[in-house]
Amino acid sequence: MAKKFPAQNFLNRELGLLEFNRRVLAQAEDTSVPLLERLKYLCIVSSNLDEFFEIRVAGLKEQEKLGGLASGPDGLEATQILKRLHAPTHQIIARQYQLFNEELVPALAEQGVKFLRRTHWNAEQQAWVKDFFLREVMPVLTPIGLDPAHPFPRVLNKSLNFAVELQGKDAFGRNSAKAIVQAPRVLPRAIQVPPELAGCPHGFIFLSSILHAHVGELFSGMEVLGCYQFRVTRNSDLFVDEEEVKNLRISLQGELPQRHFGDAVRLEVADNCPPELADFLLQQFELKADDLFRVHGPVNLVRLFNIPDKVDREDLKFAPFVPGMPPLLQKKGADMFKVIRKNDVLLHHPYQSFKPVIDFIQQAVADPNVVAIKQTVYRTGTDSELMEALIGAARAGKEVTVVVELLARFDEEANINWAGRLEAVGAHVVYGVVGHKTHAKMLMVVRREDGKLRRYAHLGTGNYHPRTARLYTDFGMFTSNEEVCSDVNEVFTQLTGLGKASKLKHLWQSPFTLHPKILEAIANEVKLAKDGKRAHIIAKMNSLLEPEIITALYDASQAGVKIDLIVRGVCALRPGVKGLSENITVRSIIGRFLEHTRIFYFRNDLAHNVYLASADWMDRNFFRRIEVCFPVLDEKLKKRVLDEGLKAYLKDNVQAWEMDCNGFWHRKTPGRGSETCAQTELLQAMGQPLAVAED
């Protein structure tokens, strides 16, 4: 029987996600952020909102169809939540386009980065655009006239489309008044124009402008009355009945193509689209008026994300840097196994390099004494040195076992491809446990030394993904501690074999011990506080939603435990409520790097217990995923995690936001000369400016 908690003690998840996107949007509004980076933040908001509609809103609409009963601790029904989301989503999107049109576009133009609007093209530009259209665009377009023989086409999720209003008869005497033109995904949405033609160093023309200008070429002899871009967002949650399928990989491969054609959940149209045409499109997609978003500009801002990469203006971007290297590994060609045998090694990404993780695997592949390698794979990307190294290890005859999570959202296709390549060279590939995503970040190498087998492990808070290791903050730790490595081996055994879960000595693991161990650690701080001792909890994570943990934190606050929470995204806990949570603060850091570390600190009567984890404090992470939480046992490394991962962020008054009891966030404003920015200080302390590194 599920426990019931007072609904008024919890904030809504979906509204919290929108608040998170307001904080990201504030980065795009911040004039102290480099201009091209502001454009990127604007695109990130659009990407986040796409996923918000594809997953969260889509899920609420499905609940609504089934009766919309309350499913979250806040007690709100699906219909109530959808109504509450209407105003803030429209506000955020309207602010995005206002910022783009009124601030970013003019500011970029002053710096020689211009978006050339159709109404301002000169004769030479018009000629260039026409030539480009005839050469590069028209051959791949398929206009579809709407008549009884040509029903409304299946429109791909998030694709760029045009609704065209026509007048006149075609070659067959047909008198269709409407047509749909779908822009192929192979075409870029912003086309770079030669500088001498653009009249500036970096000129871009939107594909939508090119199509608008020459759509008449597609309907010879007919008059184009209007051309309006639109985009539909669809339900993108995959459904695979894991209890019924015999081969998850094959079933998933069959399901992936359908993601593009799920139920529509949002329609975006150009702001000049006539009401009757917008209504027609809503009818085609079975949407309501609340699902319509009119935008003044490109309907897909996400596709502008690569523009900064095409603009050679480093002064308009964040200063490049080279991640630092731990002193123990600074010697070129350092023997990773020798170093790890002597000491645990902590890596703090992106301030410190991800290269030691790659070196570790590559040395294991080349080492004849290494007999086995085991790794979990959640997200690695389509191009991964680590995965190529594992393939090389299997080819070399080593025992390679890879636990691939096929249901890692939006990375399913890449993971399926890696699984196929690994199996082809003889690696053991397993897909974890039915009903539980494998989200743990673990890597283990077994090496023969002095006639015995010795294990080495790497555990982390982030994915084995070199690109995101440059963009996300994460901790990773190498260890040869026999008990910790034994625990890691036990988790791998659970994932690949069958049998009861054995008791682990150090690791806390979902879905078995992580939730009760966190509750136990919180209860211990309550006991210490009631005994008159100082009690303190600091926890950093992406999301805090699980009601039993939140209730335990409320109880701890009332017992006098000081609780500092650093939550990047959504937090359902209400801080600072009299009689409930006076001793709890919640803050969020939004900056250059995506905060991704999960760190849990319990003072424990001066024992200062520090844990790193792959898991947030959410229902799914505790009960529906395989996660690991591991202690930092080395006192020097424990101090590093406390200083770098927690204390620095609690002192931040530049990129920090604090949440009030109603779920609204307020940005910290430092006094003059007292600015403290955690990310900047950590980058200065551990990284190197690119120019210095090159010297």
Cα 519 to its chain centre, rounded Å, is 28
* Structure confidence at residue 411 (pLDDT): 59
Look up residue 42 and give its two tokens.
Answer: 């604007």
Q: Is the pLDDT of residue 693 over 60?
A: no
CA distances to 244, 248, 329, 495, 515 from 435, in Å: 11, 11, 40, 12, 18
The pLDDT score that the predictor gives to residue 412 is 65
Q: For the segment 348-368, what is each residue's pLDDT rounded down to a tens digit?
A: 999 999 999 999 999 999 999
Q: Say how far residue 573 (Cα) sits from the centre of its chain.
A: 22
DSSP 3-state of 608: coil
- pLDDT (0 to 100) of residue 239: 47
Taking alpha carbons only, the member of 446, 442, 479, 488 closest to residue 341 is 479
- Band (463; pLDDT cuts 50, 70, 90): confident
pLDDT of residue 229: 96
- Does residue 23 surpass a pLDDT of 70? yes
Q: What is the DSSP letter of 150?
A: B
Is 348 marked active-site?
Answer: no
CA distance 284 to 155: 10
* Cβ–Cβ under 8 Å, residues 401 and 374: yes
**According to the model, what pLDDT value does residue 148 have?**
58
DSSP 57: I
Residue 250 has pLDDT above 70, yes or no: no
Confidence of residue 431 (pLDDT cuts 50, 70, 90): confident
d(CA 31, CA 139): 42
Whole-number percent of the chain with pLDDT over 70: 92
| Cα dist from 440 to 375, 403, 595, whole Å | 10, 10, 18
N- to C-terminal Cα separation, the chain: 64
Average pLDDT of every residue of the chain: 90
* pLDDT surpasses 90 at 78: yes
Q: Which CATH class is domain 322-500?
A: alpha beta
Task: Tell me, yes or no, if the two domains 7-316 and 322-500 fold the same way.
Answer: no
**Average of per-residue pLDDT across 193-197:** 96
Q: Would the pLDDT of 507 be above 80?
A: yes
**Torsions phi, psi of 21, nearest 5?**
-70, -25
pLDDT of residue 144: 86
Residue 499 — pLDDT band, cuts 50, 70, 90? low
The pLDDT of 205-212, averaged and rounded, is: 94
- DSSP for 176-236 reads --EEEEEPPTTS-SEEEEPHHHHTSSEEEEEHHHHHHHHGGGGSTTSEEEEEEEEEEEE--
What's phi and psi for 64, nearest 5 deg?
Answer: -60, -40
**Tokens read off for 632:** 């930092």
Among the listed ranges 117-131, 384-398, 587-601, 625-639, which one has the minimum average pLDDT value?
384-398
Is residue 258's pLDDT more than 60?
no
Length of the chain: 695
d(CA 136, CA 141): 10
Q: How many CB atoms lie within 10 A of CB 472?
A: 18
H helical segments located in 3-116: 13-29, 35-51, 58-65, 78-99, 105-110
* Lowest-pLDDT choice from 17-26, 89-98, 488-497, 530-539: 488-497
What would the pLDDT profile of 36-70 be if each residue is shown by its tens digit?
999 999 999 999 999 999 999 999 998 988 887 77
Return d(Cα 309, Cα 329) in angstroms, integer: 32
Q: What is the pTM for the complete model shown?
A: 0.92
Q: What is the pLDDT of residue 152?
A: 87
Q: Mention every residue, 6+ apart, whose C-beta is less than 8 A from residue 186.
A: 140
Identify the pLDDT of residue 414. 72
As given in the structure block, the two tokens for residue 51 are: 């996923």
pLDDT of residue 80: 94
Q: With 70 as the cut, is the pLDDT of residue 428 above it?
A: yes
The kind and range of the H/E element at 339 are helix 336-342
Residue 317 CA to residue 40 CA, distance in Å, equals 10
- Mean pLDDT over residues 442-456, rounded? 96
Mean pLDDT of 396-415: 76
pLDDT at 212 over 80: yes
Q: How big is the CA angle at 435 (ends 432 and 441), to the nearest 5 degrees? A: 40
Element housing 310 (H / E): helix 307-310
| Residue 458 Cα distances to 433, 463, 553, 630, angstroms | 21, 12, 31, 11
Instruction: Answer yes or no: is pLDDT of 149 > 60.
Output: no
436, 439, 506, 596: the catalytic one is 439
Long-range contacts of 357-361 (CB under 8 A, 24+ apart): 357/386, 357/443, 357/458, 357/464, 357/476, 358/385, 358/386, 358/389, 358/466, 359/329, 359/334, 360/336, 360/443, 360/445, 360/456, 360/458, 360/478, 361/386, 361/389, 361/390, 361/393, 361/443, 361/445
Torsions phi, psi for 627 (to 5 deg): -130, 155
Q: Point out which residues pair with 539 in neighbouring strands.
A: 565, 600
Q: CB of 231 within 8 A of CB of 158?
A: yes
Element holding 251 (H helix, E strand): helix 248-255
Q: Is 167 a residue whose pLDDT tops 80?
A: yes
Domain boundaries, the chain: 7-316, 322-500, 509-694
Do residues 237 and 54 touch, judged by C-beta distance below 8 A? Answer: yes
Q: Which tokens belong to 271?
A: 């702001």
- Whole-number pLDDT of residue 689: 66
CATH of 7-316, one of 3.30.1840.10, 3.40.50.300, 3.40.50.2300, 3.50.50.60: 3.30.1840.10
Mutual orientation of helices 78-99 and 58-65 as an angle, nearest 10°?
150
What is the rounded CA–CA span in Å between residue 507 and residue 509? 6
* 509-694 under CATH 3.30.870.10, yes or no: yes
Cα 429 from Cα 324, distance rounded (Å) = 34
pLDDT bucket at 174, cuts 50 / 70 / 90: low
Within 10 angstroms of residue 361's Cβ, the number of other Cβ atoms is 26
pLDDT at 252 over 60: no
